C-alpha cells in the first residue's frame, strides 16, 4: 500500500445561514444549517453543562446562542434566518443573543407544529 498524503481540511466559509431553534420546557437546542439544509453547527443547553430544570431557562438559551455566534463569526456568517419551534421560554432570548452578537436577522419564522384536529380525547371518567 502506497503512502497517501493527508489532505488538509478547509474551513467552510458561508455568508448566510439558517438557525433552527427547538425550545421545549426542558431544553433549548439550536442547529445552524446552510441555506440548503446541511448541518454546520449545533449546540444545546445540556451540552454547555446545564443540568435539570436549568436547561429550560432563558439564560441557558442565551448562552447557547452566544456560543454558536462566536463559532459563526469565525466561519464568516453575517446574516441569519431563524426558525423557532416549540413553546419553551428560550425562544426570545436566543433571538436577542444573536442580535446582540452582531448578526443580521433577515427572517424570523415560527414553525411550531399545530394540530388541525388533534388526537382523540380520553374516555370519560366514571366516579
What pLDDT is attached to residue 6? 79
Instruction: List the Cα angle 66/50/103 in 5-degree steps.
Output: 10
Q: How many CB atoms lie within 10 A of CB 97?
A: 22
What pLDDT is attached to residue 13? 82
Please name the residue that has the C-alpha cell 415560527.
Answer: 110
pLDDT band for 14, please (50, 70, 90 cuts): confident
Closest CA to 29 of 54, 64, 76, 79: 64
Domains, the chain, ordered by start? 16-110 (3.30.420.80)
Q: Tell me what the mean pLDDT of segment 19-40 comes to.
A: 95
CA distances 99 to 77, 106, 122, Å, are 13, 11, 44
**pLDDT for residue 15 is more than 70:** yes
What pLDDT is attached to residue 2? 67
Amino acid at each position: 500500500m502506497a503512502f497517501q498524503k493527508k489532505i488538509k481540511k478547509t474551513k467552510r466559509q458561508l455568508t448566510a445561514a439558517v438557525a433552527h431553534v427547538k425550545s421545549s420546557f426542558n431544553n433549548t437546542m439550536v442547529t445552524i444549517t446552510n441555506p440548503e439544509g446541511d448541518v454546520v453547527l449545533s449546540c444545546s443547553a445540556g451540552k454547555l453543562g446545564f443540568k435539570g430544570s436549568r436547561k429550560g431557562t432563558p439564560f441557558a438559551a442565551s448562552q447557547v446562542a452566544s456560543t454558536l455566534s462566536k463559532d459563526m463569526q469565525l466561519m464568516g456568517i453575517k446574516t441569519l434566518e431563524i426558525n423557532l419551534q416549540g413553546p419553551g421560554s428560550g425562544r426570545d432570548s436566543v433571538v436577542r443573543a444573536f442580535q446582540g452578537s452582531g448578526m443580521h436577522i433577515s427572517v424570523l419564522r415560527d414553525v411550531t407544529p399545530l394540530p388541525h384536529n388533534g388526537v382523540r380525547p380520553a374516555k370519560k371518567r366514571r366516579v
